[in-house]
Amino acid sequence: MTQGVVQDKVSAALVGALRLAQQRGLLKLEQLPAVNLEAPKRPEWGDVSSTVAMSLSASERRPPFEIAQIIIDHIEQRDALFNRVEIARPGFLNLTVKRQLWMEVLHEIEAQGAGYGHSQIGQGHRVLVEYVSANPTGPLHVGHGRGAAVGQALVRLLKATGHEVVSEYYINDAGRQMKLLGVSVLARYMEFCGKTVSFPEDGYQGEYIRAVAARVKAENGEALLSLPPVEAEQRSREFAYRELLALIRQDLETFGIAFESWFSEASLLSSGGVDQVLSELKARDLLFDQDGAQWFRSSAFGDEKDRVVRKQEGDYTYLASDIAYHRDKLLRGFDMLVDVWGADHHGYIPRMQAVVQAYGYPKERLRVVLVQMVNLLRGGQKVEMSKRAGEFITLREVMDEVGADAAKFFFLMRDSSTHLDFDLELAKQQSQENPVYYVQYAHARIASLRRVAASRGIDCPLPSQADLDLLQDPDELALIRKLSAFPVVLQASAVELEPHRMAYYLRELAGMLHPFYNKHRILPPAPESEAAVASSTDPAACTSRQHEGVTPGLTAARLALMWSVQQVVRNGLNVLGVSAPEHM
RNA sequence: GCGCCCGUAGCUCAGUCGGAUAGAGCAUCAGCCUUCUAAGCUGAGGGUCGCUGGUUCGAUUCCAGCCGGGCGCACCA
């Protein structure tokens, strides 16, 4: 776990000081504390601070201020690392790191490149991330889109932190919903054939069902009418299933998402996997019969009540195959299962965790990421959707309107467990109000800058090729400090399974890049404008934007800094599955 | 009724081992384009962190109760 190249050094120095003080008998230190550093809110508090003295106060039974004093008295190479070391009120350790040390951040970015921010904290851990898993009974809607964006980001974040990850889509191709699909399509088919039929009460109402039925008719003519009803229904169901699953795959592909594994619920049933698992549970007395149904004793593992796995009429419930499915995941050797679910399923969590525990694993092995509803707006006005009437906005429509990148970024902007307002007008707007463009533009803007430099014959050096000593401005240092936080943000996003942290970070980084660009000249002024400035008789004309004295060396150093910012923006967008455009 | 989540600026939200004068974007208002992309930038106003207690040197953060909102409580998925 790294806190950043500079922070790691500072942290090590403080730990060293603690050890030294302990050897000299000044501190007891029953156990060496973790020295976590934070970025102080105010510049006068230095550029790194630590609360370690205050947290030691209780166990050392001394005022934090004294402990802080002891620590700073024992820092070796204090002058090599720090410009200023101060203690603030209760016992904050406020440190100002030597400017040269910060430049190592840029060297680190250069050395790691696309891997900057990545780590190996997940090494040796195998994770299965299951997401989307929408029933193949219709096109993906906006809610699925959010789940897809979150799931993909989690996969990327976990991979970037060294986890071995498999992404999987669980296809609910069995059970009641599939039956309803078949019945619905058949009913529409019969309508097309001129029959009057009463549409099934819980049938799927969407217009897409008619489209599927029309294709059934195009392929089969009226042949299904003469088949036994059960067979006609089955033919309709299988046809619709293939069509709709293909549609889902296409939508996901357009959204830029590919699964490494597709797992069929029906295959669990047909292979006898479900039967086998249930009889194993029965043998361990975790299953029992009551009221003509069969129950899983989930209450033995903290669920509020037991749950039916086989109904009175003999069919398995959804839970039955889910038990077998999660068992299968565990047997495949994953030591963490991540399930991305719609938030309306949250009541299902205790029962799945009961399943995990029934197999002898700690319930934490299953981590459920809940994805809340998306509120679609258009220019501030709510877009009404009624799933019942089959009127919902599809992911396809949203992608067609705002593009996959914007949609993804919006889906990831907020904590997934909170409701999301998604304004379609805003998402396709190409202005600062739109966070997607604001962040992507930071990347494109630097690309543009480099193109202009190249066209003028100015080299764009890497950090190691530039004289970074020339980066003396506080704004430059602030930017570098922000870049140094990237690995920490990435790790936290991955560990907490919260991609929105990365989205926020990128918004903040872009929010520093744009002002910097506006305030500081990077390339020397173009020859024409130089002439214009020289001919200006009004000195006030130049005060709003200072051209500063951009020497070739400073240009080179700033270009190297810009290169680093661009690399970090790209790495961050990449982990969210959003593209980093060169032109906009 | 029970359970889970949430309540932070006008709006949408960050703030996760408890730390300093609580942050950002949008909106509002006042400014900035002979320039490396104004797809941008500068500045201003705006807060009893739902309420009340408790723990603590210190609480937006932890605990309890209350108020308000969302969701769930199927032999549906």
Structure tokens at A200: 């099934």
Query: For residue range A37-46, what is the model confidence (pLDDT) as tens digits?
Result: 888 887 788 8
> Can you tell me which residue has the tokens 């090729």?
A465
Query: For residue range A305-315, what is the model confidence (pLDDT) as tens digits?
Result: 899 999 998 99
Q: Is the pLDDT of residue A564 over 80?
A: yes
Among residues A97, A126, A149, the one where a domain terminates is A97
* Subset of residues 519-548 in chain A with CB less than 7 angstroms from any atom in strand B: 519-523, 525-526, 529, 532, 536, 541, 544-545, 547
- With CA of A414 and C1' of each nucleotide, the nearest comes out as B13
Q: Which residue has the higher pLDDT, A432 or A514?
A: A514
Does at least one atom of strand B sit less than 7 Å from the CB of A551?
no
Pairing of strands A374-378, A287-290: unpaired
CB A311 within 8 A of CB A317: yes
Q: Is the pLDDT of residue A548 over 60?
A: no
- Share of residues in chain A with pLDDT > 70 (%): 94
Q: How confident is the model over A325-354, as a mean pLDDT?
A: 92
Q: How many domains does chain A have?
A: 3
Banded pLDDT at A386 (limits 50, 70, 90): low
Range of the domain at A190: 176-250
Is A513 a domain residue?
yes
Task: Tell me, yes or no, whether A91 and A183 share the same domain.
Answer: no
Query: For residue range A29-80, what is the model confidence (pLDDT) as tens digits?
Result: 877 777 878 888 877 888 889 989 988 887 888 888 889 999 999 999 899 9
Q: Is the pLDDT of residue A98 over 90?
A: yes
Q: How confident is the model over A232-257, as a mean pLDDT?
A: 95
Does at least one atom of strand B sit less than 7 Å from the CB of A381?
no
* C-alpha A52 chain-centroid distance: 31
- Share of residues in chain A with pLDDT > 90 (%): 62
How long is the CA A185 to C1' B66 vector, in angstroms? 52
**Which are the contacts of A514, defined by CB distance < 8 A and separation ≥ 6?**
A438, A441, A442, A445
Does at least one atom of strand B sit less than 7 Å from the CB of A507?
yes
Is A26 a domain residue?
yes
Q: Is the pLDDT of residue A431 over 80?
A: no
Task: Tell me, yes or no, whether A443 and A558 share the same domain.
Answer: yes
Task: Tell me, yes or no, whether A186 and A62 share the same domain.
Answer: no
Q: Residue A389 has what pLDDT?
A: 54
Does at least one atom of strand B sit less than 7 Å from the CB of A49?
yes
Give the CATH number, domain containing residue A549. Answer: 1.10.730.10
- With CA of A86 and C1' of each nucleotide, the nearest comes out as B20
Banded pLDDT at A3 (limits 50, 70, 90): confident
Report d(CA A143, CA A300) in Å as an integer: 34
The mean pLDDT value of chain A amounts to 88
Banded pLDDT at A245 (limits 50, 70, 90): very high
Q: Residue A255 has what pLDDT?
A: 95
Q: What's the whole-model pTM score?
A: 0.93
Is A217 a domain residue?
yes
Among residues A198, A215, A250, the one where a domain terminates is A250
Give the CATH number, domain containing residue A66. Answer: 3.30.1360.70
Q: Is the pLDDT of residue A13 over 70?
A: yes
Q: Residue A210 has what pLDDT?
A: 94
> Can you tell me which residue has the tokens 């819980």?
A202
Q: How confident is the model over A376-401, as a mean pLDDT?
A: 75
Task: Tell me, yes or no, whether A468 and A565 share the same domain.
Answer: yes
Q: Residue A355 has what pLDDT?
A: 94
Does at least one atom of strand B sit less than 7 Å from the CB of A346?
yes
Of A47, A49, A65, the C-alpha closest to A57 is A65
Is A328 a domain residue?
no
Is A547 a domain residue?
yes
Task: Tell me, yes or no, whether A443 and A563 share the same domain.
Answer: yes
Banded pLDDT at A533 (limits 50, 70, 90): very low
Among residues A97, A112, A147, the one where a domain terminates is A97
Task: Tell me, yes or no, whether A439 and A560 share the same domain.
Answer: yes
CB A337 within 8 A of CB A365: yes
> Can you tell me which residue has the tokens 């060294």?
A162
Is A167 a domain residue?
no
The one-character DSSP state at A297 is -
> Can you tell me which residue has the tokens 């293909």?
A246
Banded pLDDT at A541 (limits 50, 70, 90): very low
Q: How confident is the model over A543-567, as a mean pLDDT?
A: 80
Q: How confident is the model over A143-149, as a mean pLDDT?
A: 92
Structure tokens at A23: 């050897």
Q: Residue A391 has what pLDDT?
A: 60
Does at least one atom of strand B sit less than 7 Å from the CB of A433?
yes
Residue nearest to nucleotide B5 (CA to C1'): A417
Quote ipTM for the complex: 0.91
Q: How many CA atoms within 13 Å lie on the side-chain side of A311?
A: 8
Of A571, A559, A568, A567, the C-alpha closest to A465 is A559
Ranges A57-71, A428-442, A558-572, most confident:
A558-572
Query: For residue range A185-223, what is the model confidence (pLDDT) as tens digits?
Result: 999 999 999 998 888 888 888 889 999 999 999 999 999
Report d(CA A440, CA A291) in Å as an integer: 60
Does at least one atom of strand B sit less than 7 Å from the CB of A311?
yes
Does at least one atom of strand B sit less than 7 Å from the CB of A51?
yes
Q: Residue A528 has what pLDDT?
A: 54
Residue nearest to nucleotide B36 (CA to C1'): A449
Q: Which residue has the higher pLDDT, A322 or A437?
A: A322
Does at least one atom of strand B sit less than 7 Å from the CB of A514?
yes
Task: Tell me, yes or no, whether A571 and A452 share the same domain.
Answer: yes
Q: Which nucleotides of B are covered by protein (CB under 7 A)?
A: 2-6, 12-17, 19-27, 32-37, 39-42, 57, 70-77
Is A411 a domain residue?
no
Is A42 a domain residue?
yes
Report d(CA A289, CA A58) in Å as an integer: 56
Structure tokens at A463: 């950090």
Report d(CA A237, CA A243) in Å as an integer: 10
Q: Residue A1 has what pLDDT?
A: 65
